[in-house]
Structure 1
Amino acid sequence: MKRLPRLLLLAALLWLGIGLSSAHAAPPSYQSLYSNPERALPMQPAWQFQPVDAQAAPPWEDIFAFTLGMAPELMARSRWLSLNSGQDSERPPALFDTLEGRALFLSPAARSFCDGRWQVVWLERIAINTAHQPLHKVWLVERKPGGRLQSTTAYGRLDAQGRWAVPPLSCDGQVTSSVESSAALSYLMQGESAQAPPDLHVDTVLGQLGLRDAQGRWRTQPTPQRDTATVQWMRYRRLLPTPGSTGTGLIDAQGRMVIPFIFGELPDATAQRRIRLCTATGPAILTTRAPVECRWQRLRGGPAGVALRPVKKTDTGRWGYQDAQGNWAIAPQFEAARPFRHGYAVVTGLFPQDWRPPGWQDSQPIIRKLQRVGRYWVAEAVVRNASTGGQWAPRFGLLNDAGQWLAPVPDPALQVTVLVPPGGRTSHYAGMLASHLPNLLGRSVQVDHVSKATEADYRRLMTQGGDTKVLLAALRLPRGGIEGVHQPAPIDALMHALRPVTLWTSEPLVLAIDSTKADTLGIHSTDDLLAYARAHPGSLRIGTGDDGWTGHLAFGQFRALSGVDVQRVVFQGMYPDSDVITKAHAADLLFAPVNGVAVAVRRGQLRVLGTTADAAHPQSFEGATWPTLASSAPLDGYTAYDRFSLWAPANSDAASNRTLQEAVDQVLARPEVQKQLQEMQVVGGGGSPEALLALEHEERERWARALSAPAATPPAR
Structure 2
Amino acid sequence: MKRLHVLTALLWFGIVFGSVNAAPPSYQELHADPGRALPMQPTWQLQPVDARARPWGDIFAFTIGIAPNLIERLRWLSLNPGKESELAPALFDALEGRTLFLSPTARSFCDGRWQVVRQEYLSLNPALQPLLKVWLVERKPGGGLRTTTAHGRIDAQGQWAVPPVTCDGKDTNSIDSAAALSYLMPEESRQVTSDLHVDTVYAQPGMRDARDQWLPPVPPRDITTTQWMDYKKQIVTPGSSGSGVIDARGKMVIPFIFGNLPDVTAQRRIQLCTSVGLDVQRHAGTPRVCRWQRLSGKHGGGALRPAKDEKTGRWGYQNAKGQWMIAPQFYEARRFRHGYAVVSGAFPEDWRPPGWQDHWPMIRKFHRMGRYWVAEALVRNASTDGQWAIRIGLMNDAGQWLTPVLQPALHITVPFAPSGRSSHYAQMLASHLPNLLGRNVQVDNLPSATEADYRRLTTEGGSSKVLLAAMTLPRGGIKGVHKGPQIDALLQSLLPVTLLASQPLVLVADSTKADTLGIHSTDDLLAYARAHPGSLRIGTGDDGWPGHLAFAQFRALSGIDVQRVVFKGMYPDSGVITKEHAVDLLFAPVNAVAVAVRRGQLRVLGTTADQTHPQHFDGTTWPTLAASTSLAGFVAYDRFSLWAPANSDAASNRILQEAVAQVLAKPEVRKHLQDLGAVGGGGSPDSLLELEKEEHERWMRALSPSVP
What's the TM-score once normalised by structure 2's chain length? 0.87
Letter in 1 for 2:478: I
Shift of 1:501: 1.2
Letter in 2 for 1:288: H
Match of 1:574 in 2: 570
Tell me, what secondary structure is at the counterpart of 2:476? coil
Instruction: Determine if the alignment matches structure 1 residue 233 to structure 2 residue 231.
Output: no
From 231, 236, 243, give the equivalent of 2:238: 243
From 88, 93, 98, give the equivalent of 1:97: 93
d(CA) in 1 for partners of 2:266, 2:174: 73
d(CA) in 2 for partners of 1:553, 1:63: 57
From 380, 390, 397, give the equivalent of 2:386: 390
Instruction: Determine if the alignment matches structure 1 residue 44 to structure 2 residue 44.
Output: no
Shift of 1:225: 0.6
Shift of 1:381: 0.9
d(CA) in 2 for partners of 1:469, 1:276: 61
From 251, 256, 268, give the equivalent of 2:251: 256
Note if contact 2:43-2:99 (Cα within 8 Å) is conserved in structure 1: no
Instruction: Determine if the alignment matches structure 1 residue 77 to structure 2 residue 66.
Output: no
d(CA) in 2 for partners of 1:520, 1:357: 97
d(CA) in 1 for partners of 2:497, 2:154: 26
Note if contact 1:248-1:347 (Cα within 8 Å) is conserved in structure 2: yes
The structure-2 alpha-carbon separation of the partners of 1:604 and 1:404, relative to structure 1 and needing over 3 Å to count, comes to: same
What is the CA deviation profile of residues 480-515 of structure 1, one whole-angstrom value per residue up to 9, with x for unaligned ones? 333443347643244333221110111233344456
What is the CA deviation profile of residues 363-415 of structure 1, one whole-angstrom value per residue up to 9, with x for unaligned ones? 11111122222222221111111111111111111222333222112456667
Percentage of identical aligned residues = 68
d(CA) in 2 for partners of 1:342, 1:520: 121
Match of 2:404 in 1: 408
Note if contact 1:16-1:426 (Cα within 8 Å) is conserved in structure 2: no
d(CA) in 1 for partners of 2:318, 2:577: 102
From 48, 51, 54, give the equivalent of 1:58: 54
What is the CA deviation profile of residues 627-656 of structure 1, one whole-angstrom value per residue up to 9, with x for unaligned ones? 243485455654322101011223445444
Tell me, what secondary structure is at the counterpart of 1:659? helix
Note if contact 2:15-2:465 (Cα within 8 Å) is conserved in structure 1: no
* More displaced 10-residue stretch of structure 1: 639-648 or 278-287: 278-287
d(CA) in 1 for partners of 2:247, 2:151: 59
What is the 5 A alignment of 1:426-441? 426-434=422-430, 436-437=432-433, 440-441=436-437
Match of 1:279 in 2: 274
Note if contact 1:506-1:684 (Cα within 8 Å) is conserved in structure 2: yes
What is the CA deviation profile of residues 119-174 of structure 1, one whole-angstrom value per residue up to 9, with x for unaligned ones? 33333333334444333333333333355334334444333333334444455555
The structure-2 alpha-carbon separation of the partners of 1:610 and 1:193, relative to structure 1 and needing over 3 Å to count, comes to: closer
Letter in 1 for 2:282: T
Letter in 1 for 2:563: Q
Tell me, what secondary structure is at the counterpart of 1:234? helix
d(CA) in 1 for partners of 2:277, 2:177: 44
What is the CA deviation profile of residues 564-590 of structure 1, one whole-angstrom value per residue up to 9, with x for unaligned ones? 654332101111123323332323443
d(CA) in 1 for partners of 2:294, 2:410: 59
Shift of 1:77: 1.6
What is the 5 A alignment of 1:445-524? 458-466=454-462, 468-487=464-483, 490-514=486-510
Tell me, what secondary structure is at the counterpart of 1:145? coil
Q: CA RMSD in A?
A: 3.7
Match of 1:288 in 2: 283
* More displaced 10-residue stretch of structure 1: 578-587 or 691-700: 578-587
What's the TM-score once normalised by structure 1's chain length? 0.86
Letter in 2 for 1:250: V
Note if contact 2:76-2:183 (Cα within 8 Å) is conserved in structure 1: yes
d(CA) in 2 for partners of 1:424, 1:305: 86
The structure-2 alpha-carbon separation of the partners of 1:619 and 1:242, relative to structure 1 and needing over 3 Å to count, comes to: farther
Shift of 1:682: 2.8
The structure-2 alpha-carbon separation of the partners of 1:681 and 1:344, relative to structure 1 and needing over 3 Å to count, comes to: farther
Letter in 1 for 2:38: L
d(CA) in 1 for partners of 2:569, 2:313: 91
The structure-2 alpha-carbon separation of the partners of 1:63 and 1:379, relative to structure 1 and needing over 3 Å to count, comes to: same
From 344, 349, 360, give the equivalent of 1:348: 344
What is the CA deviation profile of residues 187-225 of structure 1, one whole-angstrom value per residue up to 9, with x for unaligned ones? 332335522233233221111011224543223x11111
Shift of 1:64: 0.8
Shift of 1:103: 1.6
What is the CA deviation profile of residues 566-624 of structure 1, one whole-angstrom value per residue up to 9, with x for unaligned ones? 43321011111233233323234433233333455566655555543345545555x54
d(CA) in 1 for partners of 2:298, 2:673: 78
Match of 1:550 in 2: 546
Note if contact 1:415-1:468 (Cα within 8 Å) is conserved in structure 2: no
Letter in 1 for 2:80: N
From 6, 18, 21, give the equivalent of 1:23: 21
d(CA) in 2 for partners of 1:348, 1:43: 51
Instruction: Determine if the alignment matches structure 1 residue 316 to structure 2 residue 309.
Output: no
The structure-2 alpha-carbon separation of the partners of 1:630 and 1:22, relative to structure 1 and needing over 3 Å to count, comes to: farther
The structure-2 alpha-carbon separation of the partners of 1:331 and 1:658, relative to structure 1 and needing over 3 Å to count, comes to: same
The structure-2 alpha-carbon separation of the partners of 1:143 and 1:69, relative to structure 1 and needing over 3 Å to count, comes to: farther
d(CA) in 1 for partners of 2:310, 2:528: 112
Match of 1:715 in 2: none
d(CA) in 2 for partners of 1:711, 1:403: 66
* More displaced 10-residue stretch of structure 1: 101-110 or 451-460: 451-460
Note if contact 2:119-2:132 (Cα within 8 Å) is conserved in structure 1: yes
Instruction: Determine if the alignment matches structure 1 residue 222 to structure 2 residue 217.
Output: yes
* More displaced 10-residue stretch of structure 1: 359-368 or 636-645: 636-645
Tell me, what secondary structure is at the counterpart of 1:397? strand
Unpaired runs of at least 5, structure 2: none
Aligned length: 704
d(CA) in 2 for partners of 1:69, 1:675: 46
Instruction: Determine if the alignment matches structure 1 residue 629 to structure 2 residue 627.
Output: no
From 678, 683, 686, give the equivalent of 2:682: 686
From 574, 579, 592, give the equivalent of 2:588: 592
Match of 2:333 in 1: 337
Note if contact 1:614-1:628 (Cα within 8 Å) is conserved in structure 2: no
